[in-house]
Amino acid sequence: MKRREFIAGAAAASWPWPTRAQQGGKLPTIGFLGASAAATQAQWTAAFVQRLGELGWTDGRTVAIQYRFAEGRNERFAELAAELVGLKVDVILTDGGATLAAKNVTSTIPIVFAVAADPLGAGYVSSLSRPGGNVTGSSVQAADTATKRLSLLQEAIPNLRRVAILVNVNYPAAIKETSEVENAAREIKIETIRGEVRRVEDIASAIEGLKGRADALYVCTDSFFNSNRQIINSTALAANLPTIHGIRATAEGGGMMSYSANFPALFRRAAEKVDKILRGAKPGDLPVEQPTQFDLMINMKTAATLGLTLSPTLIGLADEVIE
């Protein structure tokens, strides 16, 4: 090889991957596997894409993004994950239960979960500090914040005696969160009752069956429930059940309250992990991160419709209030 060619080749190899991608050849490809509909998680997707851009990755110029959305149908995860693997993407971004489906399809393509309720218990990683394998991401600590949500319900409803828990029994993380709620409720002498769901078709009947049997409804943190939040909120309102959720969008969509990790912030951090992986880092060496920002949202419109007058103390704790 001529010296000039060698120097040129060495210089090109030292360029950041986005720069090299622009010089020609196949763009590195990100497979985006969303658990909900595109419109449902548009804010999260936008946060991910924006942070990627800040890091030098622009869709169509320095990177290609292939989107697949399960639209609340968890049974589609395996099929969509297989599609992305078939496209030979360089990394897969997931959220919710889509992570396990992706992991079952590939053990070599790096997987980054933007949000996961219980990554260790669900078997996504073998360790939070040293994930190993091809998977890493961020936890939303759904079970760890269950007690906080219950205390917020108690603040909103001073005479709270019985709480119903809406749980997707097909989702192990939701079962764990339910147990945390039940344990916390037992400590403060509050009764609990489960409303169990397996399919979309079960949601309305499960909530209707709780009417008159509970003072409030605790909705477990689950992308499946987020995708079907309109059904949950409208049915709960008709049953006169105040709700609290683990995903902010559900309160924006008519739920009474939500207390959750800030999902857009977690999707931005997922972009940072994807950036590191595209530049050569191994997912198994990147620790699973914990959220640092939690938000309380209160929907005063819903509270008023339910005939509830929330205390100034509770309202003062809110990061955002929908009037």
Query: What is the CA angle 158-159-161, rounded to 5?
Result: 125
Q: What is the mean pLDDT of residues 304-316?
A: 96
Selected residue with higher pLDDT from 89 and 293: 89
143-177 pLDDT tens trace: 788 999 999 999 999 899 999 999 999 888 899 99
Would you say the CATH fold of 146-260+295-322 matches that of 3-139+262-292?
yes
CA–CA distance, 137 with 120 (Å, rounded to integer): 11
CA–CA distance, 219 with 235 (Å, rounded to integer): 13
Angle between helices 98-105 and 77-86 (to 10 degrees): 50
Return mean pLDDT, the chain.
Answer: 90
217-230 pLDDT tens trace: 999 998 889 989 99
Architecture per CATH, 3-139+262-292: 3-Layer(aba) Sandwich (3.40)
Residue 20: per-residue pLDDT: 44
CA-to-CA dists, residue 158 to 138, 310, 315, angstroms: 34, 10, 14
Domain boundaries, the chain: 3-139+262-292, 146-260+295-322
Residue 321, pLDDT > 80, answer yes
Query: Distance from first CA to last CA of the chain, Å, rounded?
Result: 71
Instruction: Note whether 72 and 109 are within 8 A (CB).
Output: no
Residue 100, pLDDT > 70, answer yes
Residue 30: per-residue pLDDT: 98
Number of H helices, E strands in the chain: 14, 12
Q: Shortest CA distance to 80 belongs to which of 91, 62, 92?
A: 92
12-63 pLDDT tens trace: 333 445 544 444 568 999 999 999 889 989 999 999 999 999 999 999 999 9
How is residue 155 written in tokens? 């603040």
- 184: how many CB neighbours lie within 10 A of its CB? 18
Give 89's pLDDT tier (boundaries 50, 70, 90). Answer: very high
Instruction: Note whether 150 and 215 are within 8 A (CB).
Output: no
CA–CA distance, 287 with 289 (Å, rounded to integer): 6
Cross-strand bridge partners of residue 138: 289
Instruction: Note whether 101 and 78 are within 8 A (CB).
Output: yes
Looking at beta carbons, which pairs linking 98-105 to residues 24 or more positions away fall under 8 Å? 98/33, 98/34, 98/35, 98/70, 98/223, 99/124, 99/135, 99/137, 100/124, 101/33, 101/77, 102/33, 102/77, 103/133, 103/134, 103/135, 104/78, 105/78, 105/81
Q: What is the 3-state secondary structure (H, E, C) of 77-138?
A: HHHHHHHHHHCCCCEEEECCCHHHHHHHHCCCCCEEEEEECCCCCCCCCCCCCCCCCCEEEE
Architecture per CATH, 146-260+295-322: 3-Layer(aba) Sandwich (3.40)
Residue 1: per-residue pLDDT: 43
104-144 pLDDT tens trace: 999 999 999 999 888 888 889 999 999 989 999 999 877 78
CA–CA distance, 315 with 295 (Å, rounded to integer): 13
Give 11's pLDDT tier (boundaries 50, 70, 90). Answer: very low
CA dihedral 301, 306, 308, 313 (to 10 degrees): -50
What DSSP string runs through 126-175?
S-SSS--TTEEEEE--TTTTHHHHHHHHHHH-TT--EEEEEEETT-HHHH
CA–CA distance, 250 with 222 (Å, rounded to integer): 11
